[in-house]
A and B are shown apart, each in its own frame.
Chain A
Amino acid sequence: MPQLDLPSGPPLFRQFPTALRFSVQEQSRNRLAALLLGLFVPVWYLLMISIAGNKDLEFKLYSTGEMLKVGGRNVTLITAGMNSLTMISGFVVFDAVRKALNFDRRLAFAGFRQSTLIGAKMMAIGIVTASIALYTALALFLFWRPGFTGWGAILLGFMAMTLTYGSLGLLLGVLVKNDLEGFFLIIMGGLTDTFLQNPLGNPAANKPVLQYFPSFGPMQFSVGSSLGDTVMWRYLGMGLAWAAAFALIGLVVFHFRTRSRRPTR
């Protein structure tokens, strides 16, 4: 809240490391998410490839227009990875942001600049979601060795996806009224989004309408780079644009919800 006499303590920029440290801590202390990450990710990979089999599929690369002939097992591993990390990153950030909203407002009233809290929160989301993406990409090695460039592209695609769903978690965390609504939206959104991109589960996977889903860009980028030989940075950018849009709206709402409402004269 606005204070008439600013204390003459440490400079304001010193608040940032404190806010960042505790923001990372609050987001990474989710035991259920850690359990999901440790167990669910490898089990989900295993389950999905056992369903997928190993027949070849056609995957449309939009940058070149070509139909790529790819192993169904490998595409399924990428969508399975994206599928699990959308849920986990969305859940982790949503849960932390929602539970801490009143606390963040108390911090802002106590003298934390909202911009500091917002910056720290966003950076913490970046760190936590990148760690989730890294783990999910490393777990992929249990089932597939795509080569360094291919794996690197999958990791980047995963990072764009975790950042997107982490940002969606932030947006829902400051918007929705109760846990169930948020979890439902994240799980249904993530499932629908990633399953639709896989031609194995969805015969319409190569249709243009899929371009309007958040996982379209990262999926094109990951498949094109690991299973084709086309690195399509623009498509990674599309994924990041979704992340930026969710984050921006979420942070604006966060700003409004943590501001002082006192009717000062």
Chain B
Amino acid sequence: MRPFEYVSPNTRSQAISLLGASRGNAEILAGGTDLLTLMKDDVVAPKRLINIKGINDLHGVSSNAQGFHIGALTTLGDLADDATVRQNYPALAEALAEAASPQIRNLATLGGNLCQRPRCWYFRNGFGLLPKNETGKELVAEGENRYHAILGNEGPAKFVSPSTLVPILVAYGAKIRLEGPKGKRELPLEKFFVIPKNEGEREHDLRPNEIVTEVVIPPASDVRAAHYEIRQKEIFDWPLAVAGVALKMRGSNVQSARIVMGYVAPVPWPSPEAEQALVGQPINKDTAQRAAEAALTNAKPLSHNAYKVQLARVALRRAILKAASGGVS
């Protein structure tokens, strides 16, 4: 392993000042379930590793009128067991229970889950996030793209956003809070993810000297939500499609809807088309199907992943129906 410096700050400001202003020199270590693998595989080689687990106020959860606050260092395991999550955000609880394996959930943090790097096998084999060969040919477009993006893939980024939790968090209207040398900022969670256009750019709107501090989910007592994943193996497998749906009903019709797809694009993919298709409608097989079709109208599959259009559609339709029936599929 390449030598690196290891530091363990106890406060946010220490962590921020240790990060430095340029990308790639320092990496933040939280659960380490992704970063350490990337380092062992020599995909990333930070000169400084900043262990933030000693920063006490990044741990734990709390509730107030704004909603439910989740510290960035809260583990997925603790979050899955949290009574508030189970009671008020059952679709998130389900997504948490399906994430990775129990061993990983016990270490992995929510902040790390949002900042994990794509699972693209070209990236993981060291060919870069926007992999090209010597002649400039895009390796993904020309190669084995069965698990790659079907939306938002017009540029060189063809990977899919890897978090299985983000679609339902975005559907619930979650916000992410960041802190840097110039203070704090808050973004709707979906805005945290960006599509890189040049090699070396990151897929997150996280400046080199910023850290993720917390995620806030607004109250959802009037929301019917559902998370749905399609994967080949029963457990511990990367999904082929993910859907997160949150509906507000007026009577038996949809008043408003948040519909988000995962594993279809380099970023989580909210679908205003599907949302519009549902508003004012009752939920049934036909309306769910129409919304799902609307969401995938603009899909542009690559050479080997046309099947993912169907899978994304099915995941959405099932998630919509599941949300309407109170989260039961």
Partners in one complex: no
Seen from chain B, the residues whose Cβ lies within 8 Å of a Cβ on chain A are none
